[in-house]
Amino acid sequence: MENKQVITDIEDTLTNCPFLNEMEGCTLLITGATGMIGTMLIKVIQTYNQRHSNAIHIVAYVRNKEKALYKWEGYTDEHLEWIVGDICTPIVYDKPIDYIIHCASNTASRDFVEKPVETIETALHGTKNILTLAHTKKVKKMVYLSSLEVYGMSDNFEVTEECNGRIDWTNIRSSYSEGKRMAECICQSYYAEYNVPVVIARLAQTFGAGFEPTDNRVYAQFARAVAAKQDIVLHTKGTTIRDYCYLTDAVSALLLLCIKGVAGETYNVANEDTTCSIAEMAQIVANLSNGTTKVVFDLSTDAAKLGYNPEMKIKLLSNKLRKLGWKPTNDITTAFRKAINGLI
């Protein structure tokens, strides 16, 4: 049975996506379709399909069919098909595709330092294969999911899409951020050379109800600690400052970009109202525990080995996306309350 918070999140997303009718009768390819964002995209669109006769057909690209069917339980029907494969190899699909949302990416921080080559290959070769498919199918729009990490160490705290920061490419942890930069570059190259209508979405760290039990990013650690009535343990001083995005807000942004995003353009996707340091966020989450969770610092662990991003202070500004009609609705407290409810 679906978690009550996830059901509520699906309904909230549909409310914020009145433009979905413009995709009716079209085919949407989603890569990384068993990830948190890909799974929510499928659940939202399939719920929409149950209520409309002219359905949006989904083609989900996955690596593991069994995992996919488990993640999508209750949402599979004739409007959802899947391709099992590795995006680092050429993709074969003999039917039309109208839209692509390219979510596939390494997201485990530890992999960035333990599997840096694979992290780069997925970003660069995987994205090239998707772009080639987009070119072949003459899609209406492709949305590539990039990251705030492309900004690196910025001289500006408040960052628009035109800002450029510094990344130490000799640090293997940069396999993720440099991989995203390379992928963005090849997206722009396909747009310039082949007129592939690709849009780049630079997401702040995104989280929501229904994240994987194995997800070890800080938001997942914090939410699980409160749900289990355990302390939140920080292995750094928590001085990194950034903004975030709740899952439903991110999904509505990606779908909006399919319809209204301008080809060749880049859009920040972040809720500026969520801006806080890691330490502040830990305390906000602990405050939701009714006294059963406190914040504890354990600086004995080498944070670099955990794959944590170097300290950064950055606030993504999403004015450009807001001008298209996007309105995030979840501040940091609301976002974590929902994420914790998703564990209950």
Percent above pLDDT 70 for the chain: 97
In this prediction, residue 306 carries a pLDDT of: 61
- Cβ neighbours for 98, distance < 8 A, ≥ 6 positions apart: 23, 26, 27, 28, 139, 140
What pLDDT, on the 0 to 100 scale, is given for residue 34? 96
pLDDT at 28 over 70: yes
CB-based contact 246:335 (threshold 8 Å) = yes
Tell me what the mean pLDDT of segment 108-116 comes to: 89
Residue 216 is given by DSSP the state: -
The neighbour count for residue 290, using CB atoms within 10 Å, is: 8
Helix ranges (H only) for 51-173 are 65-71, 109-114, 116-121, 127-137
pLDDT tens for 6-25 read: 999 999 999 999 999 999 99
pLDDT digits (tens, 9 = 90+) for 142-190: 999 999 999 998 888 999 999 988 898 999 999 999 999 999 999 999 9
Question: Is the pLDDT confidence value at 302 over 70?
Answer: no
**Considering only CA atoms, which of 110, 133, 265, 288 is closest in space to residue 201?**
265
Query: What is the model's pLDDT at position 156?
Result: 87
Amino acid at 320: K
> How far is residue 112's CA from residue 169's CA, in Å, rounded to a whole number?
13
Q: What is the pLDDT of residue 96?
A: 98
Tens of pLDDT along 241-297? 999 999 999 999 999 999 999 999 999 999 999 999 999 999 999 999 999 999 999
CATH architecture of 4-208+244-272+315-331: 3-Layer(aba) Sandwich (3.40)
Per the prediction, the chain carries an average pLDDT of 94
Largest CA distance in the chain: 58
In eight-state DSSP terms, residue 143 is E
- Spatial neighbors of 120 by CB under 8 A, at least 6 apart, are 175, 178, 179, 182
What's the confidence (pLDDT) of residue 305?
60
